[in-house]
Amino acid sequence: MPTPVDRERALRQLPDAYARALRLRDAGSSETEIAARLELEPEAIGPLLEVAEAKLAAAIKRQRSRVDQGLADGS
């Protein structure tokens, strides 16, 4: 499980729309509210969040890989 710092660092690596959608959802916004804030159709938010979560997971995995590689190299 990523720490809040790891998650925030990974969120900063995402394209803005994905990061904003995830932050809004994390803050308790409904899909309708997220759609309004991002100026998107409400039907687009579910798929957008799915892609955003996948991108976030990949960013966190890359971070962990870099840390593991640094530890393995003695850096």
Question: In CATH, what number does 4-73 get?
Answer: 1.10.10
Reported pTM? 0.84
What pLDDT is recorded for position 71? Answer: 62
Residue 14 predicted with pLDDT over 90: yes
**pLDDT tens digits, residue range 32-72?**
999 999 999 999 999 999 999 999 999 999 988 877 776 65
Nearest to 1 by CA among 46, 48, 64: 64
Q: Where are the alpha helices (DSSP H) in the chain?
A: 4-11, 16-26, 31-38, 45-73
Q: Which two tokens stand for residue 43?
A: 């039907």
Q: Write down the domain spans for the chain.
A: 4-73
